[in-house]
A and B are shown apart, each in its own frame.
Chain A
Amino acid sequence: MRSGIALGVSRARRSRILAGFACVAVLFASGCRKPIERQAVVAIEYSISPQPVRIGPVVLSVKLRDAAGKPVSGARVGFEADMSHPGMTPVFGEAQEVAPGQYQGSLEFAMAGDWVVLIHVTLPDGRTLGREVSVPGVTTN
């Protein structure tokens, strides 16, 4: 007994379809890499304290330096912390400039687990920079 919907398809057409599938697969495999980020002209250094990171408030310090190594003042620095699991509550914070080119702000990790902190920087000339910081294994107190 035959099953399925019987429609006549020639061998040549099947081959073309198979070739089409193969091309799409190759395109997927080769073309889905992320573009390499352009080198930022401003270096972002960061630190988180206290270490090891636990649930509760943490202090994030960010230093911005230009290509010549000079501190970059007058930038706007914001933080966003996400858990590695989607659907969880993100945490937001803003940093204040505490010294030329040095910014400090706080975040509160509400849950144990792996976090990722996004540092969003808006330079005085309006350019924006970002840095993704992995904070694995935030533990309970």
Chain B
Amino acid sequence: MQVPGLRRLFHWRHLRTVLQIPLLIVSVAMILDGLLGPSLAPKNLATTLSWVHFRGALVLVLLCAGNFFCLACPFMLVRNVARRFFHPRLNWPQKLRNKWLSVGLFALILFCYEEFSLWSSPWWTAWLIIGYFSAVLMVDGLFKHASFCKFVCPIGQFNFVASTISPLEVKVRDLDVCDSCATKDCIRGRRAPGPDLVVVQRGCELALFQPLKVGNMDCTFCLDCVHACPHDNIGILSRLPASELMVDPRRSGIGRFSQRKDLAALGIVFSFGALLNAFGMVSPVYALENWLAGILHVNSEAPVLGVLFALFLVVEPAVLLGLAAWLTQIWGGSRRALLPLAVRYTYGLVPLGFGMWLAHYSFHFLTGLYTVVPVAQSAAARLGWTVFGSPRWTWLGIPMRFVQPLEIGFLVLGLAGSLLVIHELAVSDCAERPLRAFTPWAAVALVLWVAAIWMMFQPMDMRGTFLAG
């Protein structure tokens, strides 16, 4: 980066640890308060920080900068400490070297969020964090490199997809320098001379070879490559947001987007899941759930939610994307088969999906911005620390009337980004008739955008179960 001081900061070897330590402390505080503190979610650090502040800050940082939350990930700090004692010996299984597992886990977390009303349960939220720490230790305790980040972590996958929209990227400054580089430390790392080959600096644990790396997909911003490069040729550089979605080169550690069905599935869960997650918090969802419960003759929420998830994450994408792919084939004259076409253009919906996540999470974050203050005061008071004063429960956040226009702005931005990406894909696909290839996918984006806008103007309704109402 050309900002004075930042380049030195990002080259500082201990930057990651310094960012991770506060987040680890906060995570431990969240676990303890979740297990031992008040059971009422708005009074508890675990729920307030997880579901209001963490998610909101995450999407805003991804929008304005990049995947800095993976950089500061506290789970990795614990993993790194654990790896001082336990050396993983296994390689991640070949059959699982894709995103299918993490796509499933991502969808499962969205499902559990609704099924167990995680937002209202400090206890379950605390156990979710504990589960996360345990999973990291288990996976990365057994398997080499950053297997958890690349193949398992649902939050990481969310960040990878969202960071394709980010304006910053870890990349090479001058490719000519890489051409003349003999050591390739950015991927191999550096080892101390001697028989033990002790690693003194890791290379990229996610198998991203910098000269062939394109975009932010799979990049945790860990800066290992920055520290490893002996030529100081890797940095955090600016770029056109979403530009990596408009091209389809062979990417190091990933391959071509258009040939990755698993990545497209991740894009679908990301984009359609954004709408589904928001839909779970407005009144019409309960009418739909009640209707479905009547049809299915069930009294529990899980099967109804299961049907709803299947409809939104499988049937709806299959119908919309299948139809658009078919129209692109017969109308636009694309020579690709239906599935490769659908895979290719799915990435065009990512900006819109990100716009929806932004609108949703920033709403909770901004309208509840200051609520962390009384919750933290209250937690401190329970420990006998009265220096922070009595909790100011009337501290809330930015009024809704200011936040709502911002939400619409995020959605408009998302739609504009999607249309731009789809247009670029259409131009490169059907140079003779790009408009004909563009139109069906633009229509899909527009349908989803109208649905998102409609949802935004629905009355909010946050219930643990539709059966109660």
Contacts and interface: CB of A to CB of B under 8 A. Distances in A.
B461 A85 contact: no
B150 to A, nearest CB: 14
A11 to B, nearest CB: 11
A84 B469 contact: no
Contacts of B464: 84, 114, 136
A99 B87 CA distance: 72
Secondary structure class of chain B's binding surface, majority of residues: loop
Interface in B407-465: 459-465
B182 interface: no
B44 interface: yes
Interface residues of B, number: 52
Given A28-B35, A89-B396, A113 B84 contact: no
Given A86-B52, A86-B368, A90-B42, A5 B461 contact: no
A110 B39 CA distance: 22
B199 A90 contact: no
A47 to B, nearest CB: 18
A84 B364 contact: no
B356 to A, nearest CB: 18
A87 B469 contact: no
A49 interface: no
Nearest to A52: B469
Given A114-B120, A114-B468, A136-B463, A2 B393 contact: no
A86 B44 contact: yes
A12 interface: no
A136 B281 CA distance: 14
A137 B364 CA distance: 20
A127 interface: no
A54 to B, nearest CB: 11
B246 to A, nearest CB: 35
A14 interface: yes
A5 B36 CA distance: 36
Q: For A3, A5, A14, A136, which residue has the most chain B Cβ atoms within 10 angstroms? A: A3
Interface in A112-140: 112-114, 116, 118, 132, 136-137, 139-140
Q: How large is the interface on A (under 10, 10 to 19, 20 to 34, 35 or more residues)?
A: 35 or more
Contacts of B87: 2, 4, 6
A17 B461 contact: no
B269 interface: no
Contact of B84 (A5, A90, A136, A140): A5
B51 A140 contact: no
B459 A85 contact: no
Contacts of B461: 111-113, 139-140
Given A84-B41, A85-B120, A113 B88 contact: no
B283 interface: yes
A14 B141 CA distance: 13
A114 B463 contact: yes
B463 A86 contact: no
Contacts of A83: 42, 462
Contacts, number: 130
Given A112-B283, A113-B460, A32 B42 contact: no
B42 A111 contact: no
A32 B36 contact: yes
A38 interface: no
Interface in B116-175: 117, 119-120, 130, 144-145
Contacts of B84: 5, 7, 9
Given A86-B119, A137-B468, A112 B460 contact: yes
A4 B468 contact: no
Contact of A6 (B35, B39, B196, B460): B196
A111 B459 contact: yes
B85 interface: yes
Given A85-B119, A87-B52, A88-B368, A9 B85 contact: yes
Nearest to B85: A9
A140 B283 contact: yes
Q: For B44, B196, B365, B460, which residue has the most chain A Cβ atoms within 10 angstroms? A: B460
Contacts of B42: 82-88, 90
B462 A136 contact: no
A80 interface: yes
A137 B73 CA distance: 37
B77 to A, nearest CB: 14
B197 interface: yes
Contacts of A3: 88, 144-145, 189, 199, 202, 205
Q: For B40, B83, B364, B393, which residue has the most chain A Cβ atoms within 10 angstroms? A: B40
B145 A87 contact: no
A113 B189 CA distance: 53
Contacts of B197: 2, 6
Interface of B: 35-36, 39-44, 47-48, 51-52, 83-88, 117, 119-120, 130, 144-145, 189, 196-199, 202, 205, 281, 283, 364-365, 367-368, 371, 375, 393-394, 396-397, 459-465, 468-469
Interface of A: 2-7, 9, 13-14, 17, 28, 32, 34, 55, 80, 82-90, 92, 111-114, 116, 118, 132, 136-137, 139-140
10 contacts: A3-B145, A84-B119, A84-B120, A85-B281, A86-B371, A90-B42, A90-B393, A112-B283, A112-B463, A114-B463
Which 3 A-B residue pairings sit nearest by Cβ, starting from the closest? A87-B368, A137-B469, A113-B462
